[in-house]
Amino acid sequence: MTQSEINRRLILVAAGKRTHPYYSRTVELSEKYTALSTGVGIEKYMKMYSRREDYNLFKVRCEITQQITPSILSRLSAVREKAYRSHYRRELTYGSEETAILKTIEFEKDLQRYAGGMGLDGYCQERLLELNLTDPNAWVIQEWKDFNNYQEFAEPYPFEASSAMAIDYAFERGELQYLTVKTGDGLTCYQKNFSSTLKNTGEKGAIQEALPTELFADERVLINGEYWIYQEYYHSLGEIKAKRVGYKRDKTTAGNTFVWPYEAAEPYLIKTLKVVSELDLTAANVAFPITARYADECSAPGCGGSGWVDGATCGTCKGTGHKTTPTSVMEEIVVSPMPTSPDNMLDLSKLFTHISPDVSILQWQQAYVQELEEKCISADLNSEMYNKKEIQQTATGKSIDQQNANDVVYKYFRFYAEFWRFTVLAVADIMGKADGLNAQIIVSKDLKLKTINELMEDLKQANDAGAGPATRQAIEWDIMRIVSTDSPHEFEEWEVKDRFNPFSGYTEDQKMVWAQSPLIPFSQRVLYANLGYIFDQIEFNNPNFYKMPYGEQKVLVDAAVSDITQMLQSAAAPTIAV
């Protein structure tokens, strides 16, 4: 796409005559998703039951309703958060040389300062899920402030452009050509090698019949009777550092935009709006029933219960002929003198009564709301795993449910890995640190979402069944991943140590046997018996040991084992020849 064509489109956007083809759709979805996930403005999606209520009654119903869609969506989002403690490997390195390791450490510090100290990993983990709840067509754009490139590096930060702000953009063969965003009093157009701005100066001019066809840097241009100033800022990156946060494609737009990942649950979420509203209304009517009573005649002079006084409507009873009905509970309490004879006593229950909905209706509504909540979760995850309802399942049924839930989380985590890599490389490119950088998150198809208790049970069953070392080792690694979730480097260190452990995956009894068996090389027995000591010594002398390639690590471990072996052999008791 030529620069002239992009500029002409920018002029049309400023004139209010152009948006991207799906602009209305993306903004409409954002408003709906925000209402359902936050509760703000949700009354727009509640419907009035026209046969039974007018607008005023509908407004009252909206006011007393507390919708539960935010709670349901919070649960669904929390399931996807489990991806962060799953089986994956994060790789970020410039190489294994000492200078490369130091460069990696320095860049990791840069990433920790990203997003105001939130850190790039933390930002991606928090905001991707949050934005998918409210606006999956939002863009995250990497920006940076002016800096002296002779003395410092740029400090990129994320700028979030909502679907309402992202007015126009275009792709060619999957590559973003430009992105025009409304910012304050103007427009910013992000392009491959520079960004341009078109700001409204507030000055008025003559309205022209035709719009201008070209823009020139640092010059004013008249658009629809208003002066705008056009400016360009070059960066020569060759790519627009911007990416949308959605990952589930919208079938309505042939996959050109995104919907939220909870689309399958949306019909049930919409149903809850009506049912929960009716449930709250029913509960309020049960707690505060309608009082039906005989009305007293209006006692105003001249009215006498007719509703008229001197040919005009009675100002006291407003033409009803009755006294005004009390509005508060305390005013409904009428005190009358005690009759002198029991025969003169009245049955007070016959003077008025309270009318309220049958409690069975309330119970049915509560059950229906719970059923809809469970259907939301089942539809989203295609699984019964995370329902409150306990269901007796076969082992096969439970396994299928686990696989279905795993697939849902896997789809999100695969996108997270892609978004993380794009952002890391974008930040590195902006800072001039992209050369030689390898950054990726490797996601396993089986995310291993089991708890420690479930894994311990698996380990027990493996022991009882006499499973081989490989099976036990895999389970032990999964347990260690969960234990070290908050400290990924701790798992990386344990992983290296376990790779050198000659008896990894064996039972304790097996380890005792093999550690004393002459069938096992003496060096392997020495390594197992002194594993902790060997790695302590290596770590002390080589602080970057765990960042080294396996070949270099093996050289150091073999050398340490050889030293201990020689020490043991030299200390062995001498033999006496007979």
Per-residue model confidence (pLDDT) at position 39: 92
Where does the pLDDT of residue 397 fall: very low under 50, low under 70, confident under 90, or very high at 90 and above?
very low
3-state helix, strand, coil in the chain (%, to 5): 50, 15, 35
Where does the pLDDT of residue 575 fall: very low under 50, low under 70, confident under 90, or very high at 90 and above?
low
Q: Both tokens of residue 23?
A: 């602009």
Residue 197: burial class (beta carbons within 10 Å; 0-12, 13-18, 19+):
middle
- Contact residues for 301 (Cβ-Cβ < 8 A; gap 6+): 309
pLDDT beyond 60 at 332: no
Residue 254: burial class (beta carbons within 10 Å; 0-12, 13-18, 19+):
exposed
Percent of the chain whose pLDDT exceeds 70: 88
Q: Which of 35-49, 238-252, 297-311 has the highest mean pLDDT?
A: 238-252
Question: In 3D, which of 39, 78, 43 has the Cα closest to residue 60?
Answer: 43
pLDDT beyond 60 at 323: yes
Radius of gyration for the alpha carbons in the chain, expressed in angstroms and rounded: 36
Task: Measure the CA–CA gap between 530 and 508, rounded to whole angstroms.
Answer: 16
The CA–CA distances, whole Å, from 474 to 38, 458, 468, 481 equal 41, 11, 10, 11
- CB-CB contact of 92 with 306 (8 Å): no
Task: Measure the CA–CA gap between 535 and 545, rounded to whole angstroms.
Answer: 9
Question: In 3D, which of 256, 141, 131, 138 has the Cα closest to residue 189?
Answer: 141
Where does the pLDDT of residue 52 fall: very low under 50, low under 70, confident under 90, or very high at 90 and above?
confident
- CB-CB contact of 214 with 11 (8 Å): no
pTM of this prediction?
0.77
- Contact residues for 180 (Cβ-Cβ < 8 A; gap 6+): 9, 10, 13, 166, 167, 168, 169, 187, 188, 189, 190
pLDDT in tens, 465-516: 888 888 888 888 778 877 776 676 788 888 888 889 888 888 888 888 888 8
Strand ranges, E, within 386-473: 438-443
Query: In the 8-state DSSP scheme, what is residue 389?
Result: S
Q: Which residue has the tokens 């009305």?
A: 295
The CA–CA distances, whole Å, from 51 to 47, 56, 57, 279 equal 12, 14, 12, 18
- CB-CB contact of 496 with 557 (8 Å): no
Where does the pLDDT of residue 572 fall: very low under 50, low under 70, confident under 90, or very high at 90 and above?
low
Average pLDDT over residues 78-97: 86
pLDDT in tens, 406-432: 888 899 999 999 999 999 999 999 999
* Amino acid (1-letter code) at residue 511: K
Q: Both tokens of residue 561?
A: 């084992």
* Amino acid (1-letter code) at residue 345: M
**Angle subtended by helix axes 69-81 and 359-381, to nearest 10:** 30
Where does the pLDDT of residue 573 fall: very low under 50, low under 70, confident under 90, or very high at 90 and above?
low
Per-residue model confidence (pLDDT) at position 396: 45
pLDDT beyond 90 at 13: yes
pLDDT beyond 80 at 388: no
Q: What is the 3-state secondary structure (H, E, C) of 323-338?
A: CCCCCCCHHHCCCCCC
Per-residue model confidence (pLDDT) at position 571: 72
Q: What is the mean pLDDT of the chain?
A: 86
Residue 314: burial class (beta carbons within 10 Å; 0-12, 13-18, 19+):
buried
- Contact residues for 284 (Cβ-Cβ < 8 A; gap 6+): 64
* Amino acid (1-letter code) at residue 56: N
- CB-CB contact of 415 with 247 (8 Å): yes
Per-residue model confidence (pLDDT) at position 490: 82
Where does the pLDDT of residue 194 fall: very low under 50, low under 70, confident under 90, or very high at 90 and above?
very high
Q: Which residue has the tokens 């510090």?
A: 109
Percent of the chain whose pLDDT exceeds 90: 46
pLDDT in tens, 293-314: 767 788 888 887 788 888 888 8
Per-residue model confidence (pLDDT) at position 348: 61
Per-residue model confidence (pLDDT) at position 219: 93
Where does the pLDDT of residue 372 fall: very low under 50, low under 70, confident under 90, or very high at 90 and above?
very high
Q: What is the 3-state secondary structure (H, E, C) of 418-472?
A: HHHHHHHHHHHHHHCCCCCCEEEEEECCCCCCCCHHHHHHHHHHHHHCCCCHHHH
Backbone angles phi, psi at 250, to 5 degrees: -85, 115
Average pLDDT over residues 48-69: 82
Question: Cα torsion for 552, 556, 559, 563, to the nearest 10°?
Answer: 180
What is the SS3 assignment for 357? coil
**Sign of the CA dihedral running 382, 259, 120, 432:** positive
Average pLDDT over residues 330-352: 62
* Amino acid (1-letter code) at residue 323: K
pLDDT in tens, 118-146: 999 999 999 999 999 999 999 999 999 88
Q: Which of 194-208, 284-298, 491-505 has the highest mean pLDDT?
A: 194-208
